Amino acid sequence: MPRLSAIIITRNEASNIGDCLDSLAFCDERIVVDSDSTDGTLLIAREKGARVATHGWKGFGPQKNYALSLAQGDWVLSIDADERVTPRLKASIEELRTRPPATLPDGFWIARRTRYLGRWINHSTWYPDYQMRLYRKAASYWDGIAPHETARVRGPAEKLTGELLHYTKRNLTEHQEVLNSYTSLAAEYLHNHGKRVRGPELLFVPLAVFFRTYIVKQGFRDGAPGLIISLFTAYSVFLKYAKVWEKTNVTYPRNNKQ
């Protein structure tokens, strides 16, 4: 594999960025693109030897695309500040360097294991949670519904052995705050692209999501955290659809008073 660039976008990630960059020490370059951090994220990134740039926030997809444009490598490993590359994943990536370039696909799916409420989650749709994170720069693009845009590749892809470790929301309050923000972004995207929600969907779609997460994907095997994940997942779908319904059916006075 030719030169490998790691890209990370940040905002106030001082508690995460150091360990994240340490897990990426094997990469040829590490690029941090920051948006208005005030907690020392940039200082830590520079101390760790990362190449640092600042870029005004325009959304997850645009931010990732800007970071991608800075990468000098032919291959890119995209990672979030709250994620870590495991030794086994590092070994898998290093093994790719021994393969003839012509035999490599355009991208690699990587499993992600999440730490939540004090335990590693093994079911509940959260594992193996394959992500497209390692890809040929010239064959990649970003697509999807905000805020969950993802990297995609134009050609074939393979799965890699090893995992990304994801240290997600620190508590339920943070999870709820993120959920509210993300559902607003998703609802705005869906509404702008013509999505319309009928009343029954507000009930039956979240119920179906809960059944899939808790029963089909065996969230019950993750104990209380699995139940909480399943309920939050269903609620996030309800909230997203409710916000789309609101945008279509409710008109508020300009002063927002009833």
- DSSP β-ladder status, 75-78 and 51-54: unpaired
31, pLDDT greater than 90? yes
Percent of the chain with pLDDT over 90: 81
CA 55/CA 37 separation, integer angstroms: 11
CA 226/CA 204 separation, integer angstroms: 21
- Give the three-state DSSP class for 131: strand
Contact 124/213 with Cβ under 8 angstroms?
Answer: yes
pLDDT of residue 150: 79
In degrees rounded to 5, what are phi and psi of residue 77? -110, 110
The tokens describing 155, both together, are: 């050609």
pLDDT of residue 176: 95
Quick one: average pLDDT of 158-175? 94
pLDDT confidence band for 102 (50 / 70 / 90): confident
pLDDT of residue 257: 53
CA distances from 188 to 146, 160, 191, 245, 249 (A): 9, 34, 5, 11, 14
145, pLDDT greater than 70? no
Contact 22/6 with Cβ under 8 angstroms?
Answer: no
Q: Which of 90, 107, 179 is nearest to 143 (CA)?
A: 107
Mean pLDDT of the chain: 92
CA 137/CA 120 separation, integer angstroms: 32
pLDDT confidence band for 101 (50 / 70 / 90): confident
Quick one: average pLDDT of 108-125? 96
pLDDT confidence band for 147 (50 / 70 / 90): low
pLDDT confidence band for 125 (50 / 70 / 90): very high
Task: Give the domains, in start order, of the chain with CATH numbers.
Answer: 4-167 (3.90.550.10), 172-249 (no CATH)
CA 77/CA 6 separation, integer angstroms: 5
The tokens describing 34, both together, are: 């920051």
Q: pTM score, two decimals?
A: 0.87
pLDDT of residue 255: 66
| Cβ neighbours for 122, distance < 8 A, ≥ 6 positions apart | 113, 221, 222
Query: What is the distance between the terminal CA atoms of the chain, rounded to a whole angstrom?
Result: 61
